[in-house]
Amino acid sequence: MADAPPLEIHDLTVAYHKKPVLWGVDLVVPPGKLVGIVGPNGAGKSTLIKAAMGLLPVSSGWVKVFGESVAKNFRRVGYVPQRESVDWDFPVSVMDVVLMGRYGKLGLLKRPTKDDHDKARECLDKVKMLPYANRQISNLSGGQQQRVFLARALAQESELYFMDEPFAGVDAATESAIIALLHELRAAGKTLLVVHHDLPTARNYFDMLLLLNMRVVAFGPTEEVFNYETLQKTYGGRLTILSEVAEAVRVKG
């Protein structure tokens, strides 16, 4: 199964309390691509990546990661959750959090070894957070917290990454650092799916875009997908965002 795509989703439907939030999603992501998932609020962007990782019960359809179920291949999947999803007052250090990225590779009853510590330090260095290794996580800015999460995902050494709004509420320096890191990962042959909320930058950041609004509106190379019609279909009916769409298209033009 060496040639199986990193992510294949077939007719995926996800419902919360019997109310569908994602309908019949079909998706085949080729390897080594940086894919942006874009859509209005409530479009099911986070739901899609959570369902793809098997974190949510699905109503119908299936997901394959490198040709196998995600339950079998979870070691090849890395995850950067939304920063707000955890309690940053939790009594752990930056190092502890990054080491958690190694936990999945350790067996039952095993503790992180010296190699794991070295690896974690290396990942912290990549996001320029090594000087903060022994800090408690509550003493970090939003951008620094996001970089800690990225370092933890790096420490997972996965091949397919899901990132939930890594650019939300970070400073400009962190944003460019994250983009550089994403490009580096892509150059190393990793596949990345990134939930993104900012239309104007989406065009520049990603190789491929998945336009989502409860179903797949369009999926393909950015230059093909990013046009007025598809964006209007994605954001249709939401007038305030329509002007943003127009602006995004204008910037492109």
Partner 1 sequence: MSRSANISSRTNRTIIRLLYLLSSIFYLLCAHSAHAARIGDISETTLWDQALRFFTFQDPSVRYALLGSMLLGISCGLLGSFLVVRKMALVGDALSHAVLPGVALGFLWNMSKDPVAIFIGATLAGLLGAGAVHLIKQTTRLKEDTALGLVLASFFAVGICMVTMIQRLPTGNKSGIDKFLFGQAAAIGASDVKLMAIVTGLAVVVIFAFYKEFLVTSFDAAFARAAGFPAQLIHYTLMLLLAFAVVIALQAVGVVLVSAMLITPAAAAYLLTDRMHRMLLLASLFGMFAGALGAFLSFLGNNLPTGPFMVLAATAVFGMAFFFGPRHGIVARWWRQRSRSARTQRENTLKSIYQVLEGREFQGEGASLRELAERRRETLEEVAQQAAALRAHGLATLHDDGNHVFLTPEGWQRACAIVRNHRLWELYLTHEARLAADHVHEDAEKIEHVLGEETVRELERRLAFAKTDPHGRAIPGLADAQRGTAPGPRDDLVGFGKRP
Task: Name which of residues 69 to 108 contact partner 1 (CB under 8 A).
Answer: 74-75, 77, 79, 81, 85-87, 90-93, 96-97, 100-101, 103-104, 106, 108
Residue identified by tokens 């920063």 is 83
Distance of CA 56 to the CA centre of its chain: 16
Instruction: Please report how close the Cβ of residue 109 comes to partner 1 at its closest, in angstroms.
Output: 6
The DSSP result for 115-146, as a single string, is HHHHHHHHHHHHTT-GGGTTSBGGGS-HHHHH
Q: What single letter denotes the amino acid at residue 106?
A: L
* Binding residues for partner 1 restricted to 196-235, rule: CB under 8 A: none
What type of residue sits at position 183? H
Binding to partner 1, residues 29-68 (CB under 8 A): 50, 53-55
How many amino acids of this chain bind partner 1 (CB under 8 A)? Answer: 32
Helix (H, G, I), strand (E, B) or coil at 110: coil
Q: Report yes or no: 225 and 219 within 8 Å, Cβ to Cβ.
A: yes
- Residue nearer to partner 1 on the CB measure, 111 or 114: 111
Give least dist CB 131 to partner 1, A: 13
Binding mask 112-151 for partner 1 (x = CB under 8 A): x-----------------------x-x-------------
What burial letters (b/e) apply to 95-125, b meaning 16+ CB within 10 Å? bbbbbebbeeeeeeeeebeeebeebbbebbe
Residue 18 within binding range of partner 1, rule CB under 8 A: no
Minimum distance from residue 236 beta carbon to partner 1 (Å): 31
Phi, psi of 143 (to 5 degrees): -65, -40
Q: Count other Cβ atoms within 10 Å, centred on residue 138.
A: 12
Helix, coil or strand: residue 87? coil
Which lies closer to partner 1 via its Cβ, residue 72 or residue 250? 72
The answer to whether residue 172 forms part of the interface with partner 1 (CB under 8 A) is no
Supply the minimum distance, in Å, between the C-beta of residue 6 and partner 1.
15
Q: Does residue 152 belong to the site contacting partner 1 (CB under 8 A)?
A: yes
What is the identity of the amino acid at 37?
I
- Footprint of partner 1 on this chain (CB under 8 A)? 50, 53-55, 74-75, 77, 79, 81, 85-87, 90-93, 96-97, 100-101, 103-104, 106, 108-109, 111-112, 136, 138, 152, 156, 162
